[in-house]
Amino acid sequence: MLLPYPQFTGVSLDTQQGYSWYHSLQVTGERRFRNGLTATGTYTWSKDMDATSFLNPGDAVPTRMISSLDRTHYLALSAIYELPIGRGHFLLGNSSKILNTILGGWQLEGVYRYQSGQALGFGNALLNGSCNGWTGIACRRISGACTRSSTLRAL
């Protein structure tokens, strides 16, 4: 017997279950000095959580865990120094308009940024020995625990 639409062999359903949330403490400070120096510092302490995957196939709701995007600490420091060259400054204070346009108004800037790394995820290692959350580490099952393989080396 021929079916009316033979290219359609079944029906599948994919649901988007899950949610995420983010909490943080953010502190920013800025200081302007009279010598043409400006310094800025920013620190963020955060926690990014999600519930987007199931720990076991029979779970009714996704498991709440630290997100793979979580970076707990973030620090940024920057400074800008206006060089004392040109009209009204220490060097070439009485310079012509052309010389002031070329040499005046230059600034030096420095930026330092620190960010903590990704949290170490053990996945489902305690229940069935799966080490899916360990990136770059070869895992094998020994008494239900994950261990590093001695054949891999860090680059």
How much is the pLDDT for 150?
Answer: 39
Cα dihedral sign for 88, 91, 93, 97?
negative
**Distance of alpha carbon 65 from alpha carbon 71, whole angstroms:** 14
Question: Which letter does DSSP use for residue 84 in this model?
Answer: S
- Give this prediction's pTM: 0.60
CB atoms within 10 A of CB 131: 20
Q: Which of 7, 81, 71 is nearest to 44 (CA)?
A: 71
Q: CA angle, corner 15, sides to 10 and 18, nearest 5?
A: 160
pLDDT tens for the chain, 155 residues long, are 567 777 777 777 777 778 999 999 999 999 999 889 999 999 999 999 999 888 888 888 888 888 888 899 999 999 999 999 888 888 887 888 888 888 888 999 999 999 998 766 665 555 555 555 444 444 444 444 444 443 444 44
- The CA R_g of the chain, rounded to the nearest whole Å, is 29
Q: Which of 120, 116, 145, 136 is nearest to 65 (CA)?
A: 120
**Bridge partners of residue 91, in order along the sequence:** 85
